[in-house]
Structure 1
Amino acid sequence: MTGGMGTAETTITLNGAEVTGRAPADTTLVRWLREQAHAYEVKEGCNEGTCGTCTVLVDGRAATGCTTLAVQVDGAAVETSASLADGEELSPLQAKFWETGAAQCGFCTQGMLMSAVELLRSGVEVTPAVVREHLHGNLCRCTGYQAIVDAVVDAAAEGATR
């Protein structure tokens, strides 16, 4: 080791499968997921924690992958949008995103979906106002947000948790 923090081995359960990787100790979770676990569905956006594009669930809680170090989640269960579909069949939430036009360019969609999954699993009553508040950390440049809100409210009304 010549200067720096050195490397660290990190093991997570990613979408139900154990993954181990070794990277510099200051590697962000989003970078680790893409480079060590090949989870390319996780996108890098602002790298400052403000856009929500890299949102994943860590032990069921939404976390921005750009402000979380991989070593901080060693031993945790991490879920990405790849965990939602059942083979070729979209999850109920993904289907609602498709039906309402909530996903346009698709860049923010992974983070929006994972933040919405956290909300759907929370047990709180899902209203348009609750969805807007819960997704406040996820930015979208394409949709104007209403289609996203509609998709989440519709999915909740049908009892969706993914």
Structure 2
Amino acid sequence: MDHRHHQHHRHAAPAPTDRGWRTAAQATLHCLTGCAAGEILGLVIGTALGLHNGATVALSIALAFAFGYALTMRGVLRAGLDLGHAFKVALAADTVSIAVMELIDTGTVLAVPGAMDAGLGDALFWTSLAAALLLAFLLTVPVNRWLIGRGRGHAVVHAHH
């Protein structure tokens, strides 16, 4: 009896806590990919066009949400959902994650003196953006873990794969 019990533990799946953090990190990385693409594009467009900082931030946040939702929708559309349902899944899966990520990374870039006024060829622009995205990732993973643990966030997406 003890042997069977020992054998069961040796072949058991990872603990739920381990899977929860791994799944949350993967969901956050997925979110970061869409957010970063949209945000970088928005900051580049705003900076290149000489837009006011407020307009540049608004554009980058809007594009971060658009790219984040589009990335999720691409996957669930492949799984067979129609466009309307895919959009609803993307909203449910990504809204909180993107909002938290944008709050952190936009706030970080705005807090770095001169970062928003730096040009595209300036190291300050790129290093502050990279640091902000890294910080946003690190602080959004626990949020996504909490959401997934309650059947929300990217847990909604996994129901369609």
Q: Same fold (TM over 0.5)?
A: no
Q: Which has the higher helix share?
A: 2
* Short-chain TM bin: under 0.3
Q: Which has the higher strand share?
A: 1
- Higher Rg of the two aligned structures: 2
TM-score with structure 1 setting the length: 0.26
